[in-house]
Structures are given as C-alpha cells and as structure tokens.
A and B are shown apart, each in its own frame.
Chain A
Amino acid sequence: MLYEYDGLSSLRPPDVVVFPRTTEHVVQVVKFAASHNLLVVPRGAGTGLSGGSLPWEGGILIAFARMKDILEIDLENQRARVQPGVVNLDLSLAVSDAGYYYAPDPSSQKACTLGGNVAENAGGPHTLLHGVTTNHVLGLEVVLPNGEVIHTGAKFLDSPGYDLTGLFVGSEGTLGIVTEITVRLLRKAESVATLLAIYDRVIDATRTVAAITARGITPAALEMIDGFTLRAIEEATHAGYPMDSAAVLLIEVEGLREAVEENALQVESVCQENRARQVRRAKSAEERDLFWKGRKNAFGALGRISPSYYVQDGVIPRTRLPEMLEFIGQIGTKYDVKIGNIFHAGDGNLHPIILFDPRDEDESRRVREAAGEILAKCIEMGGSITGEHGVGMEKINLMPYLFSPDDLDMMRKIKEVFNSAGRFNPGKVLPTGKMCGELRGQMVAGGVL
C-alpha cells in the first residue's frame, strides 16, 4: 500500500513489489518483465517530490531497500562504490572518522538513497560550492530494459567514449536502472563558519545574496527562510530563529581556516550593508547544528500547521531574487493561498511551499494555478522548472514551455535508444504527444499562457 506514494501523492498501487539483493536479481526481474511485456518502476526511499518513483500505470516496482551495501571505500583514490539503496547520509557517516564526506546533501539525506539521488540528480543546501549529484558520480552499472548490464565511467577521470554516466544521472530511471554507483568523496574542510543574518525586509535579504557573490565569495551554502516559514519552524524546532523577522539567511563558508575567517567577516559586512538587523555566528558545533536543524526540519514544521502543502522547485538567475520574491507574494494574494519560502538562495533555486487542504477542491485548484504562474515566471526570467527535484510526472506537462519541439524530439530519440518500448518508468520526464494536447488545455485554464 505504501509504495503507491512518494513525496507527491498518487493514485495507483504497483501490481507487485520486488526487493532484489544483487544486480543479478535485478537482471532476472527485468528479463522477466521484458518477456511478459510488463512495466518496471525503480524506487529508492520514495522521498522524491516529483513523482519520479510512482508506478502510475502499475507494473513491477523494484524497491532497492535491500541493495544497501557500501561495496568499497577507497580513500586514497577519493572514491566509494555503493549499491543504489545506500542512504545518502550513511555514506558520509561511514567515511566521517577518516575526515571525508559525500558532498550532495538533499534535505531528506537521512532517508533518501543514492540510487534515487542519481535518478533525480539531487542537490541540497551544500551544492552551491561543490555542485550537485552529477558532479560527484564517476561511474555506474546500469541494467537496460532488455536485461543487458553495462558499465559507464570509471574510478578514474575521462574514460574514453561518450559520457553515458552524465546522461544517466538525472534521467529519472527512464533509460536504465542503476545497480551500482561510483562516487567521489571529498575531504572535510578544515574550518567552517555558519552565520545567521536576520532581516526586517525580505528585499534586503534577497539583495544580500548577489552582493555576496559579487565580493568574490562562494559560500558552501546560502539559504533563505522567510518570516512565515521561520515562525512555523521555530514553533516546532526551537532553533532560535527570531519570531518577528521578515527573513533570515543561513550562510556557511568553509575551507582553509584563514580563508574562512576572512570570508566570514566579509559576509557579515555585506549583510550589514544590506540592512541586516543582526548577524549571528555559530560559536559551537551545537549551535551550528541548531541553525541547520531548523532549515532541515522546515517541511515537517509546515506539515504541523497545514493538512498538506505543495513544494515547487523553480530556478532563476540569482540577481532576479528580489523581483521574484515580490512576485510570489503577489501570487499568494491573488489566489488567496499561503506561500512559505525556504530555498537555496545562492543557486537561485526557489522552493515556494504552498499550503492547502486537499479536501478543499477550490483551494486545491487555486494552489495549482498559483504554482503554474510561479513556474511560468521562472521560465520567463530565463530559469528552469526544476533545479533538483526532477520533472517526474509532476512537471511533465511544463516541459513544452521550457523546450522546443525539436529539443524534446532529440530527448525522445535518446530515450528510444535505451527504452524504446517505454516499459521503464513510463510517463516520466518526457511528455507524450497526447499529453501535450491535454496539457495545453489545462495550462491555459490554469492561467500559465
């Protein structure tokens, strides 16, 4: 029953769920599916937010809960080889004592799996400096829809041939099923400074973001939380966020001790120049954890005050943040919905969270329309409809607004190379011709065009 859901609600259960332990098990399941013309949907922990792992047309669901071995840790080569069911945070914990970690850190990192991270090309707060999943995956073992197993990339860089690793990362299980992953491990920074800048006006916080990069500083993380969201967090988590502020920035700089000290001072002065009411610097590891606890538990906190919420994942150039946040405020008023903002400001990766009660049909409709307008604005600003959550089912109908028919046609050709029968994770990423037509109707009604 559980497997019909992920972070996005769904309607239909799979016909059967299998729990392979080895690549060979996956091959057998895939071959069985091929010979019986059955659909196959892979699933990690089901923490995705775009419906990428939902078996919406039924079929076999391959759950990776039992393929969770770390196969090899090779510190001198800065690599680890893992099965796809390994939980993101568990890998970092396994190498932590040796002074290493795995950089991409989605908010769900305590639960989400590396296989799911590869499928969606997951990000996280600390990807501003170090990049997202695709920048840290060097090799894959993949089972293709005919049961054939291929290996892409390697432990070393520049393996000759097309970069299939880069193509598979973020392909949301529509090209093949990943059964083994080689990732890069990073050495932990010598020093970290975590700052909490408190603002009385949202616009001052958003202006600070571009001002920091303009100083030549790339923080490890640069997160923004608006007043509405931080009050919800504070009530649930007691992270010490001020209840009466309009926005806070959570800024982390890391690296060599000397660089961190200088950059932390610079960041502090940029915040003050942009009218921060107060800038606090975490004095201990405990205080740092507390700052982050609020950020990482935000979604749960919002869950306490609303029956449901809809998280968006738009991206815009970071210089457009002040304008965008104002726009989101207007959209909230226009559709009479509550929108919280908690997002990766440094990357320009927005996560407007629209609260609603799914039993209220009119409100649900207004939420969809509000979300549609926000994403349309992202596209208009030269941005994207998804920065790290994936297209999945959720945004499939928006693809034609971001890509031309020729762009989509080329993606379809690539899909056909691997998954011509469309049995692997059907109905994800690429709209079908039929969907386009339906969508146009829907989106016009929804006010996008």
Chain B
Amino acid sequence: MTTAVESVHSSLAAMVGESHVVSEPAACAALAVGGKIPQHIVSPATAEGVAEVLKFAADHDLAVIPRGKGTKLALGMPPRRYDLALSLEKLTQVWHYEPADLTISVEAGMKIGDLQDFLGREGLWLPMDPRGGASATVGGILATNSAGPLRQRFGSARDMVLGIKVATTEGKLVKSGGRVVKNVAGYDLCKLLVGSYGTLGVIVEASLKLFPRPASRATWVLEPGTLGLARDLRRRILNSPLEPLCMVLLNTLAAGLLQNGMQEGEAPGPELWIEVGGSTSVLERHAKDLAEMGRSMGVPSRRVSEHTAESCWVRLRNYDQLFVDSFPEVMVLKATLPIASSEEFLSFAQQGAEAEEVKMASFAQVGVGIVHLILWGGKLGTVADRLVTNTRKAAASLGGALVVEQYASGFDAERDPWGAPGDSLEAMRKLKAAWDPKGVLSPGRFVGGL
C-alpha cells in the first residue's frame, strides 16, 4: 500500500474497526464497478458508522459506491471515480417488528430471503420479487426500486416503504416517514431516496408495510401462438374481475430455454405465465375463467404442477442471471411502456434482433408495461450500439422509455444507459447538489451523469 492508501485505511479502521476495512488489491478488484476498482472496502456494523465513513469520504474527497450484495451494480454509467466500496452487509438488525401492525423496521443489509423466512413464521411476507433473488438486500432493492412480476398486484418498493433512515455526506442520520401506514408529515424523502441509486445518501434502515401471505398459489400457462392473440388475452384478463399476482409473457425462445434447462429447445410459441394466490375457491374461480377465456379464443391453457411452478418462477424471476451464467456475453434492456403497448414493442424488438442476427429472449410483465429483453449471440458486440438506439426509438414512439441494464462490450460505455433525461434534469441536479455537494456518492452513474 502507498502511504496515502495506508493512511486512509487506518483512518477508516479507527472509525469502524480493523476487521471492517479491507484494502487488499485482489479483494477490491472483485468489487470493480464499470471497470473501476476501489481502494478500500468498508463494512460498518452500525448506521452511525456508515454516516461517519460518508463524512470522512466527503471531507477527503473520496468517491463512494454503496452496495448490498451488488446484484444491481451493473446498471448505470461507469463511475467517474471510485475509492471506497461501502458495504451495508453488516447492517442486518431488525429494529422493530409487530406482526399485528403489519410493519417491520429493518437495517439495509438484510437479505430479502432472510427477511421472508423471518416473516413467514407469522404467515406474513413482503410481496417483492426483485432482481438478484433471495440474496438481494433491502437497501439495494430500495435504492434501485427494483421490482419483479409481483408488482402487478402489490406495487413496487416505493409503495411499501413507510419510513427510512439515511446517512448523509454531512455525516448525519436523517429520517423521513415513520412506522405507521399513513403519514403525511413533512416532505416524503422516502420517495426521493427510493430509486436514487445511491447518489443522494445511503439508506441504512427502512420501515416496510407487510402483507399476509396468500393461503395458496397456482400457476397457469396460456399459449396464445401470436403476439396479436397475446395482446387480446392480456386485454381480456385485465378487463376481467380476476386478480392475478403476476403475469409474464415469454417469447418462444425464452419459453424454450426455460423449459429445457437453458438448452435451446422446442416451445410451440409465446407463453403467458400467470400466477394466482388466495383460497381454494379463489384459485378454482381463476382456473375456470382462464380456461374459458382460452377456449373462447382458441388459446391452449394448462395448469402447472405446484412443484414445477415453484422452480419455474424462481428461474423466471432471475432470468437475467441465468442468461449471464449461460452465455459468454449478454445485453439486458428494460423497456417501460404504457400497458397497451407491450406487445407492439415486442414485435418491433423481435424484428430488430432478427435484422441484426442476434438472439433475443423477452420477459414481459404485460400487466404493468415492463419488458425485459435479453440479447446474445451473433455479432452482438458490433451491433449493440445500433440495437439500443433502434429499440429505444421504438419504445419512445410507443410513449415509453428504455434503459440498458447490462451492457454488451460493443455498447459505447460513454453513452448514457438511461436515455435522454426530461425537462426536470436541472431540478434533479440541484437536489443532488443539496444532498451531496462534493459529488462523492456514486459520481456520474445516474441519469444525466448525476
């Protein structure tokens, strides 16, 4: 270590304890973000420790990227600079839990899988199925407002956060909201911090709204054959009294890969996966109505056995990881669209991928208008840039937007994965300056280079 690095190491160690600071190059290299390697990894054991580290970083102009399990750090521009990896993994306390109030206050480093196990003892859950699966942390989920298919029924993190505690670059712990389900006292900093990607402050604790677990769950698969019929089916379901937990439309390739253990295999066409929760009579009602809808539209439907459904949903909720693990290079795009436009967008995207001769698997949460595209194969490296530009144009022409969640190597890293910011960018810039005047938090990673 150079003298400067050593001196930072000892200052950090004095703050949070020697065992909570790592400066070994190999360990640091493993936490690289966008090709930049930090010099230290700091894992404070208390919220106060996080605040102290942040103040130290601001005072010494050290760039910090907060992280939980790092499951979503691929998203964003490469940092302008990166000195400290600030790990929240040691913050795993439950501070307040009253099952009958359906609220819990937990620290940011708690893994969602552990939290669900804990809540399950009382028959409760946090109805979230974010990217990163069970190991995603509460703090990371909130910082990225990450949500999976369940948001169709329950909304996203933004809707479940009742209160937060945030460490600021001034070294303070600031709270907003509380642990009651209704609260309008003061500005809602929860909304501002949720989805701010660690650029304003570091969420150290959150109070969350809990829900009773559905008594039982069941899964149906409908095979509409074409995107046109998939659209009609989506309209029928959303216009019916049925209340699915979630709906995911897979294209033919995605359906085949999932069922054949990531080997390309036969799937007859696109599949609409629908999960339903509730009492036996509620499940029976869904079975009857979905079968009837399928019949009247000439769409085959089948109920998936409980065991198969469970493992399929685990894969469906972590599809991006499956692809990253299975293929040498993949690009992940997320389009957010008006609900009515999902299928039309999918048709554009499919044509685009075919024209560039790359493979595309699509996972569309058609109930809420969120479409994930995974691209690989062919000359992805060469065509990535053009593909993104064209797909983004298609999303925009349908009234939506496109974010590059994971780059392919050919995508110009200097280009903005977020897309053009709107007319509120200046206001966002000023908010960033108010929270992080020195610009040490995840510098340059967010929308518009914030």
Contact = CB atoms under 8 A, between A and B. Distances in A.
Interface stretch (A119-127, A328-336, A366-374): A119-127
B159 interface: yes
Given A157-B369, A162-B195, A213-B102, A417 B188 contact: no
Interface in B413-449: 418-419, 421-428, 430-431, 434-435, 446-448
B39 to A, nearest CB: 29
A264 to B, nearest CB: 13
A275 B280 CA distance: 29
A325 interface: no
A319 B98 contact: yes
Contacts of B431: 162, 414, 417
A74 B340 CA distance: 10
A210 interface: yes
Given A189-B241, A259-B278, A158 B185 contact: no
Contact of A348 (B181, B281, B282, B370): B181
Nearest to A410: B174
Given A131-B159, A256-B242, A317-B103, A160 B182 contact: no
Contacts of A387: 180, 182-184
Interface string B128-160: 000000000000000001000001000110110
A165 B187 CA distance: 12
A216 interface: yes
Contacts of A411: 186-187, 189
B178 A382 contact: yes
A150 B101 contact: no
Interface in B239-265: 239, 241-243
A239 to B, nearest CB: 25
A59 interface: no
Interface stretch (A33-41, A223-231, A243-251, A401-409): A401-409
Interface string B184-201: 111111111011100010
Given A157-B336, A162-B192, A417-B434, A391 B184 contact: yes
A164 B182 contact: no
Interface string A377-391: 000001111111111
A407 B174 CA distance: 5
Contacts of B186: 391, 399, 402-403, 407-408, 411, 429-430
B327 to A, nearest CB: 26
A391 B159 CA distance: 21
Given A157-B370, A413-B434, A402 B195 contact: no
Contacts of B446: 161
A306 interface: no
A49 to B, nearest CB: 12
A317 to B, nearest CB: 4
Interface in B322-358: 334, 336-340
A76 B339 contact: yes
Given A155-B399, A170-B188, A256 B180 contact: no
Nearest to A175: B187
A216 B212 contact: yes
B188 A167 contact: yes
Contacts of A78: 238, 339
B189 A77 contact: no
B109 to A, nearest CB: 22
A318 B101 contact: yes
A414 B427 CA distance: 10
Contacts of B419: 160
Contacts of B192: 162-164, 166-167, 414
Contacts of A382: 96, 178-180
Contacts of A154: 336, 401
Contact of B175 (A79, A99, A403, A416): A403
A386 B189 CA distance: 16
A276 to B, nearest CB: 19
Residue picked from B101, B159, B181, B281, most chain A C-beta under 10 Å: B181
A156 B336 contact: yes
B184 A407 contact: no
Contacts of A258: 279, 281-282, 284-285
A255 interface: yes
B26 interface: no
Interface residues of A, number: 91
A218 to B, nearest CB: 7
Interface in A387-438: 387-391, 395, 399, 402-404, 406-411, 413-418, 429-430
B215 interface: yes
A95 B434 CA distance: 42
A155 B338 contact: yes
A383 B158 contact: no
Given A170-B187, A407-B174, A417 B180 contact: no
B403 A160 contact: yes
A262 interface: yes
Given A164-B427, A411-B186, A413-B434, A384 B180 contact: yes
Contacts of B174: 404, 406-407, 409-410
Contact of A120 (B180, B184, B425): B184
A302 interface: no
A77 B340 contact: yes
Nearest to A430: B186
Contacts, number: 254
Contacts of B182: 123, 127, 132, 315, 344, 347-349, 384, 387-388
A217 B212 CA distance: 8
B447 A167 contact: no
Contacts of A144: 427
Given A414-B431, A414-B434, A159 B401 contact: yes
A168 to B, nearest CB: 9
A337 B281 CA distance: 51
A211 B24 CA distance: 54
A264 B181 CA distance: 23
Contact of B422 (A99, A151, A349): A151
A131 B155 contact: yes
A190 B448 CA distance: 45
Contacts of B377: none
Residue picked from A160, A165, A407, most chain B C-beta under 10 Å: A160
Nearest to A157: B336
Nearest to B338: A77
A347 B173 CA distance: 27
Contact of B447 (A160, A166, A259): A160
A135 B175 CA distance: 20
B275 to A, nearest CB: 15
Contacts of A175: 187
Contacts of B340: 74, 76-77
A14 B235 CA distance: 50
B176 interface: yes
Nearest to B395: A156
A170 B184 contact: yes
B281 A262 contact: yes
A388 B180 CA distance: 12
B1 interface: no
Contacts of B155: 131, 135
Contacts of A54: none
B108 interface: no
Contact of A218 (B172, B212, B284): B212
B235 A76 contact: yes
A166 B158 CA distance: 9
A82 to B, nearest CB: 17
Q: Which 9 A-B pairs have the closest CB atoms?
A: A166-B191, A216-B212, A190-B241, A387-B182, A258-B281, A384-B183, A76-B340, A317-B101, A150-B424
Given A166-B192, A259-B281, 7 more contacts: A161-B418, A187-B238, A344-B182, A348-B101, A382-B178, A403-B185, A407-B186
22 contacts: A76-B235, A77-B339, A121-B188, A134-B191, A150-B424, A156-B399, A157-B156, A157-B370, A162-B192, A162-B428, A162-B447, A167-B189, A191-B241, A216-B212, A216-B215, A255-B243, A347-B180, A387-B184, A391-B185, A402-B185, A404-B174, A413-B435
